[in-house]
């Protein structure tokens, strides 16, 4: 997958592929990331890309022309007529695991990071999709773009080892992940649940499913409300709730 990030802070977004899974994705050859400086498309002597808002008021607005030129250059560079242009915006659809998995199927993404009050609305005609990191306002789209790159890279083939399949992560099956434990077996008076030491894979799988259902019930009941549990899942959740209440 090719990803172009259009930004005023290329050196900031480049950091995302210096560490962890995104770095592995680059090393495995399944991710190519380029940060493109929007200022390179300014016609201003001082490389300005913002101006005062029509109608007055505080803040500055990103000019349409440098944005359109940066998007066009990125499209040409990725060589994909189908490159999806995504603007990071607090007004966008919430970035969910479903979106991440859909975006991971794309051959190329162009991520547009806003600054100031955001882009001139007329530049938004070149944008296919707006995505938000949540109902809060950041000062720029760089951190959301980096979050998106990180999340997407987990789904690129070869980026995660077998032992870390993204399939087990929270939200993939509509539930939160089950709790995890590692050595030592006893730590400050707390023991690892016995079933995890049993070597019985079926029992471990049953316990993990029950804990995933329980964690979702405790921490994100809204997720459970949107799921139709099968008989086994419903039974395990009843067991978990009974244990909590007993």
Catalytic residues: 90, 117, 154, 169
Reading the block at residue 103, the tokens are 């975006």
In sequence order, the β-bridge partners of residue 11 are none
| In contact, 218 and 195? CB cutoff 8 Å | no
Q: How far is the CB of 2 from ligand SAM (least distance, A)?
A: 21
Radius of gyration of the chain (CA): 23
Give 5 or 213: the residue with its C-beta nearer to ligand SAM: 5
| Cα separations in angstroms, 225 against 200, 211, 240 | 31, 17, 17
What's the token pair of residue 158?
A: 């070869």
Helix (H) or strand (E) run with residue 204 in it: helix 201-219
Encode burial over 202-225: b for 16+ CB neighbours within 10 A, e otherwise: eebeebbbbbbbbbbbeeeeeebe
CB 61 to ligand SAM: min, Å: 9
* Phi, psi dihedrals of residue 51, rounded to the nearest 5°: -150, 170
Report in angstroms how near the CB of residue 220 gets to ligand SAM at its nearest: 20
Closest CA to 67 of 123, 24, 135, 8: 123
- Smallest separation, CB 107 to ligand SAM (Å): 23
Residue of minimal Cβ distance to ligand SAM = 114
Shortest spacing between CB 113 and ligand SAM, in angstroms: 5
Residues binding ligand SAM (CB under 6 A): 88-91, 113-115, 117-118, 132-134, 136-141, 144
Residue whose C-alpha is closest to residue 26's, from 60, 7, 43, 1: 1
Q: Judged by CB, which is closer to ligand SAM: 134, or 179?
A: 134
Of 66 and 114, which has the nearer Cβ to ligand SAM? 114
């Amino acid at each position: 997958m090719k990803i172009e990030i259009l930004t005023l802070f290329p050196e900031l977004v480049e950091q995302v592929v210096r560490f962890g899974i995104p770095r592995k994705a680059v090393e495995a050859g399944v991710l190519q990331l380029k940060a493109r400086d929007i200022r390179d498309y300014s016609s201003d002597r001082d490389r300005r890309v913002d101006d005062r808002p029509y109608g007055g008021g505080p803040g500055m607005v990103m000019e349409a022309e440098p944005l359109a030129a940066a998007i066009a250059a990125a499209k040409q560079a990725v060589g994909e007529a189908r490159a999806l242009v995504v603007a990071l915006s607090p007004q966008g659809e919430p970035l969910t695991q479903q979106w991440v998995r859909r975006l991971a199927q794309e051959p190329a993404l162009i991520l547009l990071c806003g600054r100031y009050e955001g882009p001139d609305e007329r530049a938004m005609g070149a944008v296919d999709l707006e995505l938000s990191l949540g109902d809060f306002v950041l000062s720029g789209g760089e951190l959301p773009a980096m979050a998106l790159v990180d999340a997407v890279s987990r789904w690129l083939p070869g980026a995660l080892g077998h032992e870390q399949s993204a399939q087990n992560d929270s939200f993939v099956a509509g539930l939160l992940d089950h709790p995890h434990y590692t050595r030592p077996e006893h730590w400050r008076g707390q023991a690892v649940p016995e079933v995890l030491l049993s070597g019985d894979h079926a029992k471990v799988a049953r316990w993990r499913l029950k804990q995933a259902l329980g964690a979702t019930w405790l921490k994100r009941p809204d997720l459970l409300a949107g799921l139709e549990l099968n008989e086994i899942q419903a039974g395990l959740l009843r067991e978990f709730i009974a244990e909590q209440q007993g």
